[in-house]
Structure 1
């Protein structure tokens, strides 16, 4: 596109095969470099911004078509059917309107889409709903989007108001509402557009509006959303009048505190009052059992302490090649009796004990952050007294605390459960944050296929992703001994999740060979180190 003799952004479509990102060590020129922004006049910049919005709309329309087509490739007929082992449970009265796979689409499609576009499953579910709505009942809206005459935020508002919320409404009524609003949609704000759609729907079908209101009431919930810097938002959905009454009460009590001399910001007072009204600290409550976990980097236990006690330097602190004979180790880093005695001396010095009615656990990690072993205070003291079973009475450098031993049984031992729950913290499927306390201990290589019941073959998966791994066709799961899980979708998209705190120490082995071998190096290139 030309603007006053210059260049503008445009979209050219051709069938090419290029990598998704620039190869390592190279960088493709940016659009700002190809189309110098500062060389444009204000009018040209404004026109170019409008063209960018048009291109974004066209790309959004193309993305919706891709999502709808991929959803068609994943039919619900491939899922476990009701009555079969592993089939999805009927939520009954607890079902939340709008949540779940659209009719005819696999229940696991949103999981695949989430890994494909690298987003949350809830976002992928919503995107699927929008795609099927705009390429289906709202084709006219999609046509405007493909031509760039309607932007994505407004097309998304059309899909949100006329999609799953009125799924049971007569299609002719939906088409009539779309026809009445679409001509003016581009000129309305998103909020005004939604209000217009609701008014048109209510005028044509009051029963549909009533059903939407009832569904919205059934879908309310309370959620915590971390926003960073040690702060979370507590989001509560409720009817308008109830929310207004709660806000008015909180506001009144906050201003009372302000007038009584509290100098804290009014927003901080509102937040504190809400917490007090919920927690009611003036009531006598049942005591809470605290469970304290102390993370112990093995490298923080210094060699000077071992030398002072006359023990040999553990291999973790020795120079490479200076250890003559191998010693027992956990992933190369043994937790010796000298380690344990040194730690116990430090604990005794500060008087650290388990809280009343609670527990105190120590998690030992290596320099990369990988969990090596767990122990309670009682287990630590026993290991310190006992020392090495094979070399009693000597500081041999053998490990006295290790990760739980494998078992021949299918069910993991209590020690294994404790280890993998501490290591994983949450469901290990990429992008899933369901906490480990609600997850299953899953064999990455199935037990029936010879997979060991060992911590290196066990990971936490929530029930949904446990079912996906077990029953959804085409998915591949692999895990390294230090717990790095790689998941590959049926279409070949690969994502990786690491245990919290584990650093990326190097490239991982592919779970499947690349489709094409890498090209041979140019003979004109200099050999390493370049």
Structure 2
């Protein structure tokens, strides 16, 4: 039988637990109110940026409008200051604008802590895509239930109401959605990665059918792999060995993969993992297979004592292929703050403009993705290259951010250097 003392302790613990849960819920409401104030501030910041009406800083080529310059400068300022991607910064700007101008009832509900910022973002994201005459009805119907629903349930409700309140035909909506198709890669642990392919459903079903047919055929022929593994391998084979049907695309395009392998590792010494450019460290078995089967090599001179990469410069405007490859291997990704786009997808940019006397050599070159290459030339962002390939960026508002290249090869152990350094008449190790 439970004693009176035990019942009292249980009652006290129950009350304490209830108080903690209520405090957590209230804290979450306060977070919602803070997010509402942030959205309002972001909207005011956008209005001030547009009011300043900054001009395009480039000296040639197509010019950006003052609105484009203002919005891009604010997006990059927010991204660097908040440590988020520029896509996320633009989403914050878009949501702030939507809440402050078109969906004010949603902003009021967020300010009262009735639901989270994620709920409010869904209302704006789906509502903004509707015709103006349908937005008020959409918001009213969403707010009738949103406070009692999870984020997933709110998104499902938004999808259903989007169909009910708009007058666009299914064909019109499909054409608009198809225009936003995209392809992206996300790195995963253990030498793996995800590929996201957002495309029309008919093509997606056809691709899945092709993969299933190839996988089933292989299994019937006795292949020991699972159907899931065979589907993945079938799609990879088709993409990597096939050709494009897009008019104007050159024939014979093949993937370009760069792997950096410490020379002493090839000699059997466990000094450092190999690096797959655009991804990161990979296992020695995969690296050894790539080195053994690669049709050609780009040999990069390294200093085994310091681990530094070495090269020579040139005076012409466009880097020769060897220097261009070297710059991208050294930096590995776009060097704008927080950008992670691979260097292989980037432009090799003169940090100090060539037209203003900048030289074409390693200490004045760095990869910038097309987006940030344009930001550098069209906005008030400025950059200079410091020692050890550190880039110092100054934002339009005067904030300074430094970006460094990824960690280079570690220096080899001293005893190995002594064993493998060349004599006076031998070439250095590559």
- Fold shared by both chains (TM-score > 0.5): yes
1:148 to 92, 113, 116: 113
Shift of 1:181: 1.9
Shift of 1:58: 1.6
Distance (Å, rounded) in 1 between the aligned partners of 2:383 and 2:35: 31
Partner of 1:454: 361
Shift of 1:462: 2.6
Partner of 1:49: 24
Whether 1:127 aligns to 2:92 is yes
Partner of 1:75: 50
**TM-score when scaled to structure 1?**
0.59
Over the aligned positions, Cα root-mean-square deviation in angstroms equals 4.1
Q: What are the Cα deviations for residues 385-416 of structure 1, in whole angstroms up to 9, with x where unaligned? A: xxxxxxxxxxxxxxxxxx31453x55556664
- Specify whether residues 468 and 246 from structure 1 end up closer, same or farther in structure 2 by C-alpha distance, changes over 3 A only: closer
Shift of 1:498: 1.8
Distance (Å, rounded) in 2 between the aligned partners of 1:66 and 1:266: 52
Distance (Å, rounded) in 2 between the aligned partners of 1:234 and 1:148: 37
Distance (Å, rounded) in 2 between the aligned partners of 1:479 and 1:82: 20
Shift of 1:155: 1.0
- Specify whether residues 366 and 432 from structure 1 end up closer, same or farther in structure 2 by C-alpha distance, changes over 3 A only: farther
Partner of 1:510: none
Shift of 1:207: 1.6
- Specify whether residues 413 and 463 from structure 1 end up closer, same or farther in structure 2 by C-alpha distance, changes over 3 A only: same
Shift of 1:174: 0.8
Gaps of 5+ in 1: 1-37, 90-100, 302-351, 374-402, 505-530
- Specify whether residues 208 and 43 from structure 1 end up closer, same or farther in structure 2 by C-alpha distance, changes over 3 A only: farther
CA contact (8 A) 2:351 2:358 kept: yes
Greater relative contact order, per chain length (Cα 8 Å cut-off, separation 6+)? 2
Gaps of 5+ in 2: 1-12, 243-250, 268-290, 411-430
Q: What are the Cα deviations for residues 25-45 of structure 1, in whole angstroms up to 9, with x where unaligned? A: xxxxxxxxxxxxx99833233
Shift of 1:85: 3.4
2:61 to 71, 80, 85: 85
CA contact (8 A) 1:457 1:481 kept: no
Partner of 2:34: 59
Distance (Å, rounded) in 2 between the aligned partners of 1:252 and 1:275: 14
Name the SS for the 1:456 alignment partner. helix
Shift of 1:367: 5.6
Whether 1:275 aligns to 2:236 is yes
Whether 1:480 aligns to 2:386 is yes
- Specify whether residues 55 and 367 from structure 1 end up closer, same or farther in structure 2 by C-alpha distance, changes over 3 A only: farther
Distance (Å, rounded) in 2 between the aligned partners of 1:199 and 1:444: 50
Name the SS for the 2:148 alignment partner. coil
Q: Count how many residue pairs are aligned between Structure 1 and Structure 2.
A: 367
- Specify whether residues 42 and 254 from structure 1 end up closer, same or farther in structure 2 by C-alpha distance, changes over 3 A only: farther
Shift of 1:275: 2.5
More helix by share: 2
Shift of 1:299: 13
Shift of 1:87: 2.1
CA contact (8 A) 1:438 1:462 kept: yes
Shift of 1:137: 0.5
Distance (Å, rounded) in 1 between the aligned partners of 2:354 and 2:39: 40
Shift of 1:225: 2.0
Distance (Å, rounded) in 2 between the aligned partners of 1:290 and 1:248: 28
Distance (Å, rounded) in 2 between the aligned partners of 1:136 and 1:462: 33
- Specify whether residues 300 and 232 from structure 1 end up closer, same or farther in structure 2 by C-alpha distance, changes over 3 A only: closer
**Which range moved further: 257-266 or 413-422?**
257-266
CA contact (8 A) 1:439 1:462 kept: yes
**TM-score when scaled to structure 2?**
0.70
1:217 to 178, 181, 195: 178
Partner of 1:179: 140
